[in-house]
């Protein structure tokens, strides 16, 4: 009998192979786990989200140019509170004595001392990522260890942020596992199911995290949040297989039960995963490449979860089979019959109200205020660096630094541009080569004659004339050599650097004092040139009294850009800073939001179309979940809180892809059960049967989201967590208390838009009494039947009879009355359900 049933069942053949080869699979997974554990430390994590801006964005171009052409020293703003000015002044010498500190800016102006707060602007000898700067920053902290100190710096910030976030996420993961265990204790049927589920998930998480090494570099946001999201999104797959096993194990031995359960679970789980994957894939089309980064890691996470469930979990179930048998307990998730009864009573009230709520939520969420700078995001837990930044800005005001890059070589244009920019009332300072003073008379880029340079450098005029001649030849400017070198003007910085070059090559001899002065001057000029002049561009560094983002700031950027283009007509002018980054993010947000919304809804609707073979039902389901997304983001709009744009984009995709499963569960059960009973009873039974699944998955994802939001100190991660937790909770409420009414209200639409006419609804009949059955019967008739039988039984059958192929039939004959005659049915496949009998014919006496 069993062999006959296996014949032609592809998935049962696959399942049998997997179970039979479980020992070899153990070995393969063991090797994969070792590889992944070793690879985890090789994964490169990027903390700077500006790296994910579109390649052609102004900020990305500017950052690349600055990295290639300019030297940018590491710096720090260090505030010492509760200190007198005299003591603060004494600290300057101690700070300057720290190895690796290049310069300490401090004076008695309000920019550096106010109330009892002293602010030191410290410049280090190396760039931000260089070890000399990191060591110096640590030494500065040690020097000020006895003071009330606040430090705002990018030097070493990545490591500190990474460590803090890793610590937060480890705590979140531990708490998430505790919550999962608690939920599973309520929803499972045996205590020993829980270790099976945790082992399966743990292996999938390790495989995914280790194989991030294949991607080269991933973002810190993805690295920190992926494990928890994988757990919340994919734990369902293991639960489905476990539940299948428990059902089959009631009538089969453990090994047979695993094979049958796996054969049924593979197509079911695979179909369920498609909607989640579709949401992740939609993120990968974003211009802001953080979406691609997170999307590909989460798609990989879901795939590894599927692989672990399909290949590893069957063997683990067999290992724990005896323990599962000995640890049975009842399911503590209650029925929610009241929700089904409420749906029947309000089926004409809730749908119209939901449409109104949908319109309101759409309008409110569309008018939501979005923010693009991480420093603007409010999180429940603040990092030390954010606290320090807020303290410093509270005492000394905001410092918004903006870099302007213009084509190199035109010092006159640089000087005019800087003078115009300095006139702007929101500009605190503007630094460029063209306004760095040497003395009261000259700036670095002033052009001076040989005699003026002779006086400035205190060199013999004849030596300077020869030097000017040599410079003219070097620059291939031969005219002044023949027309008169005394009239040849050269920028001071260029002549001093040329003088040093000639001195280094031995063409110029200086006395000891001049030697010392020239070397000191060269160090200053060389540093200035490296920081402010590159191979193709010159750089201006502006300090603005403006917030990092906002219309006022963006208008100021346009004004600065306009001034630069006035003196550099037709030339490329590039602005770089946090403000330009935020503006670029805002520019890409509109298109990314449209891409996410359209692609996610489109992918999900296509999947649902083929799943349900209906044009109307997918629209109803997508509108329900899309409504939950609009409601989710109308909450901050109503409370006047801004939304971090990354949270909106990512959560929109995840919420649609993940929570549509809840709507699918309810819709699928409803479509099955309404063939077997009146729709009023079907919706009640649907909610009772679906609630344990939705409760398990939904509570895990909701709790995981809120945990991330409340504990993570990284503002980006925290904002995603809060929005995801709130969104999942709203989705659960809608699928339990709004979707049922929509299904009842829209039942006519669902039937009319089905691709195939479902005759079973119309041929359904209740048969009672003593019956004779010849043919294939499958269903619940005082115990489940799935067999070709010839015999009779006493009871009641609620049978949906359909004729598919003429000439083959199942005969149901009443032996003693009490019901209706049987009909014909051929190759009819009935959905699995609970509480009602199902019967289907598959041939006659012989197949």
Over residues 89-104, mean pLDDT: 93
Token pair of 835, please? 């509480």
* Region label for 831, one of left (φ > 0), alpha (ψ between -120 and 50) or beta (otherwise): beta
| β-strands 44-46, 217-219 pairing | parallel
Element (H, E) at 334: none
Identify the band that residue 411 occupies on the pLDDT scale cut at 50, 70 and 90. Answer: very high
The pLDDT score that the predictor gives to residue 173 is 82
Q: What residue spans of 640-678 are helical by DSSP H?
A: 645-673
Whether residue 30 is predicted with pLDDT greater than 50 in this model: the reply is: yes
pLDDT over 90, % of the chain: 39
For 550-607, how does the pLDDT look when each residue is reduced to its tens digit (9 = 90+)? 899 999 999 999 999 999 998 899 999 999 999 998 988 888 888 888 888 888 888 8
Over residues 71-80, mean pLDDT: 93
Angle between helices 578-612 and 551-567 (to 10 degrees): 120
Token pair of 770, please? 């003593």
Last residue of a domain, one of 481, 503, 532: 532
The b/e string for 184-202 (b: 16+ C-beta within 10 A; e otherwise) is beebbebebbbbbbbbbbe
Q: Please report whether residue 129 resides in a domain.
A: yes
DSSP string over 58-111 = HHHHHHHHHHHH---EEEEEEEEES--HHHHHHHHHHHHTSTTEEEEE--SSTT
Q: Are 552 and 546 in contact (CB under 8 A)?
A: yes
Q: Are 299 and 281 in contact (CB under 8 A)?
A: yes
Q: Please report whether residue 68 resides in a domain.
A: yes
Over residues 238-266, mean pLDDT: 89
**pTM over cut 0.85:** no
Domain of residue 115: give its range: 52-155
Identify the band that residue 7 occupies on the pLDDT scale cut at 50, 70 and 90. Answer: very low
For residue 705, the tally of other CB atoms under 10 A from its CB is 27
Over residues 186-211, mean pLDDT: 91
SS (H, E, C) 199-233: HHHHHHHHHHHHHHHHHCEEEHHHHHHHHHHHHHH
Highest mean pLDDT of the ranges 2-16, 81-95, 221-235:
81-95
Q: Please report whether residue 138 resides in a domain.
A: yes
| Candidate from 261-275, 453-467, 792-806 with smallest mean pLDDT | 792-806
Q: Please report whether residue 67 resides in a domain.
A: yes
Last residue of a domain, one of 512, 532, 552: 532
The pLDDT score that the predictor gives to residue 774 is 60
* Cα separation, 796 vs 322, whole angstroms: 37
Cα dihedral value 785, 790, 794, 800, nearest 10: 60
The pLDDT score that the predictor gives to residue 767 is 53
Q: Please report whether residue 128 resides in a domain.
A: yes
The pLDDT score that the predictor gives to residue 775 is 56
Q: Please report whether residue 16 resides in a domain.
A: no
For 350-391, how does the pLDDT look when each residue is reduced to its tens digit (9 = 90+)? 999 999 999 999 999 988 889 998 878 877 778 788 888 889
Whether residue 807 is predicted with pLDDT greater than 50 in this model: the reply is: no
Q: How many domains does the chain have?
A: 3
User: In sequence order, what are the residues at sequence separation of 6 or more whose Cβ sits closer than 8 angstroms to the Cβ of residue 485?
Assistant: 450, 465, 468, 469, 472
- For 773, list phi and psi in degrees, rounded to 5: -125, 130
DSSP string over 716-782 = HHHHHHHHHHHHHHHHHHHHHHTHHHHHHHTHHHHHHTBSS--THHHH-EEEEEEEEEEEEEEEESS
Q: Please report whether residue 585 resides in a domain.
A: no
Last residue of a domain, one of 476, 507, 532: 532
Taking all residues of the chain, what is their mean pLDDT, rounded to a whole number?
84
Identify the band that residue 771 occupies on the pLDDT scale cut at 50, 70 and 90. Answer: low
* Cα separation, 591 vs 286, whole angstroms: 8
* Cα separation, 846 vs 445, whole angstroms: 101
Q: Please report whether residue 737 resides in a domain.
A: no
User: In sequence order, what are the residues at sequence separation of 6 or more whose Cβ sits closer than 8 angstroms to the Cβ of residue 655?
Assistant: 279, 625, 628, 629, 632, 724, 727, 728, 731
* Cα separation, 292 vs 285, whole angstroms: 7
Q: Could you tell me which residue, 206 or 812, shows the higher pLDDT? A: 206
């Amino acid at each position: 009998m069993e062999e006959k049933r296996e014949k032609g069942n592809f998935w049962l053949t696959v399942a049998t192979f997997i179970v039979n080869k479980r020992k070899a699979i153990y070995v393969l997974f063991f090797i994969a786990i070792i590889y992944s554990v070793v690879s985890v430390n090789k994964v490169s994590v990027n903390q700077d989200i500006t790296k994910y801006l579109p390649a052609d964005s102004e900020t990305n171009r500017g950052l690349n140019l600055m990295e290639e052409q300019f030297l940018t020293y590491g710096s720090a703003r260090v505030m010492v509170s509760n200190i007198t000015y005299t003591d603060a002044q004494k600290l300057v010498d101690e700070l300057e004595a720290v190895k690796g500190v290049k310069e300490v800016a401090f004076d008695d102006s309000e920019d550096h001392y106010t109330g009892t707060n002293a602010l030191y602007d410290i410049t280090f000898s190396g760039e931000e990522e260089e070890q000399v700067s990191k060591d110096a920053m640590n030494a500065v902290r040690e020097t000020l260890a006895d003071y009330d100190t606040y430090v705002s710096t990018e030097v070493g910030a990545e490591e500190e942020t990474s460590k803090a976030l890793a610590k937060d996420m480890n705590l979140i993961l531990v708490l998430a596992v505790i919550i999962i265990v608690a939920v599973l204790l309520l929803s499972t049927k045996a205590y020993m199911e829980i270790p099976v589920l945790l082992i399966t998930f743990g292996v999938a998480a390790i495989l995914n995290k280790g194989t991030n090494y294949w991607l080269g570099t991933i973002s810190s946001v993805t690295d920190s949040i992926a494990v928890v999201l994988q757990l919340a999104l994919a734990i369902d797959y293991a639960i489905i297989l476990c539940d299948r096993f428990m059902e089959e194990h009631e009538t089969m031995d453990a090994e047979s039960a695993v094979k049958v359960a796996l054969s049924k679970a593979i197509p079911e789980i695979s179909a369920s995963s498609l909607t989640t994957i579709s949401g992740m894939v939609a993120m990968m089309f974003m211009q802001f490449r953080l979406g691609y980064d997170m999307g590909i890691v989460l798609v990989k996470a879901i795939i590894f979860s599927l692989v672990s469930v399909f290949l590893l979990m069957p063997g683990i179930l067999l290992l724990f089979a005896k323990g599962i048998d000995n640890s049975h307990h009842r399911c503590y998730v209650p029925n929610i019959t009241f929700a089904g009864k409420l749906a029947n009573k309000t089926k004409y009230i809730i749908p119209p109200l939901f449409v109104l709520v949908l319109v309101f939520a759409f309008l409110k969420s569309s008018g939501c205020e979005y923010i693009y700078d991480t420093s603007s995001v409010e999180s429940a837990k603040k990092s030390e660096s954010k606290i320090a930044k807020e303290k410093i800005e509270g005492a000394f005001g905001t410092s918004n630094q903006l870099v302007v890059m213009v084509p190199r070589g035109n010092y006159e244009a640089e000087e005019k541009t800087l003078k115009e920019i300095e006139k702007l009332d929101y500009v605190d300072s503007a630094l460029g080569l063209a306004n760095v003073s040497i003395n009261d008379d000259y700036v670095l880029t002033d052009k001076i004659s040989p005699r003026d340079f002779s006086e400035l450098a205190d060199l013999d005029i004849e030596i300077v004339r020869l030097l000017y001649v040599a410079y003219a030849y070097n620059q291939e400017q031969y005219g002044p050599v023949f027309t008169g070198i005394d009239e040849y003007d050269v920028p001071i910085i260029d002549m001093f650097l040329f003088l040093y070059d000639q001195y280094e090559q031995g063409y110029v001899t200086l006395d000891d004092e001049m030697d010392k002065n020239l070397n000191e001057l060269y160090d200053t000029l060389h540093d200035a040139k490296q920081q402010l002049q590159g191979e193709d561009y010159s750089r201006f560094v502006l300090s603005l009294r403006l917030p990092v983002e906002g219309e006022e700031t963006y208008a100021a950027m346009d004004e600065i850009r306009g001034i630069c283009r006035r003196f550099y007509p037709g030339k490329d002018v590039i602005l770089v800073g946090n403000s330009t980054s935020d503006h670029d993010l805002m520019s890409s947000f509109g298109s990314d939001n449209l891409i996410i919304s359209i692609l996610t809804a489109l992918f999900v609707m296509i999947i649902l179309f083929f799943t349900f073979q209906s044009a109307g039902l997918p629209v109803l389901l997508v509108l329900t979940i899309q409504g939950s997304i609009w409601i989710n983001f109308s909450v901050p709009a109503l409370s006047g809180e801004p939304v971090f744009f990354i949270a909106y984009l990512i959560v929109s995709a995840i919420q649609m892809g993940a929570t549509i499963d809840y709507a699918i569960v309810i819709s699928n059960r409803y479509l099955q059960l309404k063939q077997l009973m009146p729709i009023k009873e079907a919706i009640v039974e649907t909610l009772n049967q679906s609630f344990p699944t939705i409760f398990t998955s939904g509570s895990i994802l909701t709790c995981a989201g809120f945990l991330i939001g409340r504990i993570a100190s990284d503002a980006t991660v925290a904002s995603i967590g809060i929005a995801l937790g709130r969104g999942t909770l709203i989705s659960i409420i809608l699928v339990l208390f709004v979707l049922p009414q929509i299904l009842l209200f829209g039942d006519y639409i669902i039937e009319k838009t089905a691709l195939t006419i479902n005759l079973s609804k119309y041929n359904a009949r209740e048969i009672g009494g003593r019956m004779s059955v010849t043919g294939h019967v499958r269903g619940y008739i005082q115990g489940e039947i799935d067999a070709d039988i010839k015999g009779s039984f006493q009871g009641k059958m609620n049978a949906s009879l359909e004729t598919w192929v003429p000439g083959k039939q199942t005969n149901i004959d009443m032996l003693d009355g009490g019901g209706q005659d049987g009909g014909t049915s051929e190759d009819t496949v009935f959905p699995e359900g609970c509480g009602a009998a199902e019967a289907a014919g598959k041939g006659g006496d012989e197949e």
